[in-house]
Structure 1
């Protein structure tokens, strides 16, 4: 298992990191203040990232992308975890994996425009009464002639405010199974302009500019042609790219932790108290050591997870392990950084407080830490059940 980067891989990582430092970092304070990315900045980042060769880099070759293997992709995602999320989202790196289920006219209407960056999607699964328990969703799609009528509410939907269409999971019926009635889930493609579909902002203290929203559906009517994948296969369709999303989140956590650590090292190595640098005190030095070990382990877990995906060995347990560890890790790193920076760590003039706040959400989205712990334990102990 060789995790060393080739010359080409290292060149991509280095050029991407330089791009982020030059084109994204300078706008972070403004986006934090405004809670959105101004249109002119968004267009400038998009243009410059295209000129730099990053356009569609996560796409497979058959759709015009670079066809990166998972190892290279996750190295790139690690770098893209360092800048503010709404700014990195301005780079059109590819599309939501589930969109490759588009077929027929959907390809021209949704997939290709999304690949070209002309249309943006949002994924709507979570509901007020169904967060980690995704199968508890109640948003209902009822058959009506040759189409469907959808009613319900979605919550914490990222980027629906700036999306052009929404990939939505709804209950489309109930199947009788040996274990009793079981909901049937279907994925739909919904244009935001549809009558009865309304998006409302939620004011969050984290990831400002990459905002959560409420999505309300009141008798939204769509034809069969808006089903993504097959009717009743919504979860299967989504699960095919779930592992990729969890490992990408983990890579982002490692990248963000690295950026926090770089700033913390400099502070601990130069800030003086009682005649010496604060890093010379064990109370601070041990925190620095723990941060270094945490980041190293997270990086290795992401690399192993990417290797498993490249070799068809990824499973639910491994995906939950890397997600759980890295999301907890970045918060520990951020929390230690605040402690080392002291009062300055909580001042808005310093980015540490933003990293600290933003790190908190990593333990919730893509599955809470508790859900991942539960999945890991169930998978490990399954052979011992009677």
Structure 2
């Protein structure tokens, strides 16, 4: 196991960081102030991402994507994490769930998404079914050649700008030793399908400009051709995606922490109090030392998980550990960064308060810290049959 980057991987890191600095960072303040990414700005970034070869980098080359392996893609996501989440929408990385498309669905959904002609969003979470996905109440009932879908999804990222939805819905019940269990089916649903309403969700303190929505299905008819994967086997599709998504969250948290650390270090090296820069006081310098150590530990954990993924040996607890540690590390690092900035750390002018505010959601979405600890502890106890 050697995490020394090859020349190609180092070039990827440098090129991605340069792209982020040139094409995304200049618009951060605008997005923060307006809570909106202008459509023309999306098109601009979109075009530059395609020109630079950064669009759909996680998709296979034979399908028109960038063909990055798991390790390289993790490096790419770490660099994207240094900037506004809302701006990243235009540098699209299609959900790996779409790899389950059949030939007809590839032509209608996957390939246009890779080319940048269509954008998807993912709909799993419900008002009464967050971490407990199996308790989802959105139902898909077969009727002739269609499924009739009723229910509500919320916290659906990018639904306001997506063209179609990867929907997970309850399609039946099976009896198990532990009692009845819902069967889940995944669907590809065009946003203009009759019976589907998209509503803007509540405003969040994290990631301004990035909006989540509520999807309301009222006798929405979806043809059986739009089932993604097999009926009742939606989780088989989702499980291949969840681990990789948690690793992406962890990688982005490392990138965001690295930038917050750079900002705090610059402030500590130039801000003077009592006749010297504040970085010379142990109260500040020791904070920087702890921040640097935690960031490096999280980075190594993320890279190890990416390496295991590339080797095909990663397990659920690997992704859980990476997400748990990286997201909680980001919370500590951004909090300490605000402390180093002092009162100015809470002012919008410095920009550090945004990193602190944005960090809060990372411990909740894509599986809460409590869920990650459950996955890890279950793996620890399993050999003892406990």
1:291-326 per-position Cα deviation (integer Å, ceiling 9, x unaligned) = 000100011001100110011110011110001000
Match of 1:304 in 2: 304
DSSP-derived class of the 2:173 partner: strand
How does 1:240-251 map onto structure 2 within 5 Å? 240-251=240-251
Shift of 1:61: 2.0
Match of 1:215 in 2: 215
Counterpart-to-counterpart distance in 2, 1:117 and 1:209: 21
How does 1:109-188 map onto structure 2 within 5 Å? 109-188=108-187
Counterpart-to-counterpart distance in 2, 1:239 and 1:255: 25
How does 1:182-197 map onto structure 2 within 5 Å? 182-197=181-196
Match of 1:280 in 2: 280
How does 1:36-51 map onto structure 2 within 5 Å? 36-51=36-51
Counterpart-to-counterpart distance in 1, 2:88 and 2:127: 28
* Contact 2:264–2:337 (8 Å) recurs in 1: yes
Counterpart-to-counterpart distance in 1, 2:221 and 2:313: 41
Counterpart-to-counterpart distance in 2, 1:374 and 1:179: 19
Provide the TM-score with structure 1 as the length reference. 0.97
Match of 2:25 in 1: 25
Shift of 1:56: 2.7
Give unpaired runs (5+ residues) of structure 2.
none
Counterpart-to-counterpart distance in 1, 2:350 and 2:196: 39
Deviates more, 1:61-70 or 1:301-310: 61-70
* Contact 2:157–2:213 (8 Å) recurs in 1: yes
DSSP-derived class of the 1:240 partner: helix
Shift of 1:383: 2.4
Shift of 1:104: 3.1
* Contact 2:55–2:114 (8 Å) recurs in 1: no
Shift of 1:83: 0.9
Shift of 1:9: 1.2
DSSP-derived class of the 2:78 partner: helix
Match of 1:361 in 2: 361
Counterpart-to-counterpart distance in 1, 2:66 and 2:158: 25
* Contact 2:135–2:182 (8 Å) recurs in 1: no
Counterpart-to-counterpart distance in 2, 1:7 and 1:383: 41
* Contact 2:65–2:114 (8 Å) recurs in 1: no
Shift of 1:153: 0.8
Aligned residues: 385
Match of 1:2 in 2: 2
DSSP-derived class of the 2:363 partner: coil
| Coordinate RMSD, CA, aligned | 1.2
DSSP-derived class of the 1:89 partner: helix
1:168-190 per-position Cα deviation (integer Å, ceiling 9, x unaligned) = 10000001233332110000111
How does 1:301-340 map onto structure 2 within 5 Å? 301-340=301-340
Counterpart-to-counterpart distance in 1, 2:72 and 2:188: 30
Shift of 1:70: 1.3
Counterpart-to-counterpart distance in 1, 2:334 and 2:47: 32
Counterpart-to-counterpart distance in 2, 1:89 and 1:123: 14
Counterpart-to-counterpart distance in 2, 1:178 and 1:371: 23
1:54-73 per-position Cα deviation (integer Å, ceiling 9, x unaligned) = 23322112212232221111
How does 1:54-65 map onto structure 2 within 5 Å? 54-65=54-65
1:31-59 per-position Cα deviation (integer Å, ceiling 9, x unaligned) = 11222211111111111222222233221
Shift of 1:341: 0.6
DSSP-derived class of the 1:241 partner: helix
Counterpart-to-counterpart distance in 2, 1:88 and 1:148: 34
